[in-house]
Amino acid sequence: MELSDQSKNNGYIHLTVNHSKHFKDPITCAHINTVEGMWADAKRTLIKGGTPRNHLFTCLALFMMKRMLSAQQDPDMFVAFMRMTNACVADGNDRVCKCV
């Protein structure tokens, strides 16, 4: 996730949608349905579990990890997790891992 004031693009292509005209841009096909759907799913998961505020970051990270694992082709989640872990590069700190 990236929070942005749109002052720089950080290598991303930023598309906009004028919702007063349409919900999906007819030229670029840009829309926000995927983001809204994922956020709604995350909120449902966090609320259903009664997540306390001090655990919000950890629970959101777990939600994102499960989402990424479910998208993997390998039906064995443990193997998929190990592959993702193996793709990480140590970041100078034994407890920090930056995925590439």
In single-letter form, the type of residue at position 50 comes to G
For 37-61, what is each residue's pLDDT tens digit?
888 988 888 887 788 888 888 888 8
Strands (E) in 1-100, as ranges, are 88-90, 97-99
Global pTM value:
0.52
In the chain, which residues have pLDDT < 70?
1-10, 87-100
Q: What is the residue-wise DSSP string for 3-29?
A: ---SS--TT-------TTT-SS-TTT-
Check residue 100 and give its pLDDT: 39
CA 49 to chain centre: 19
- At 16 the pLDDT is 84
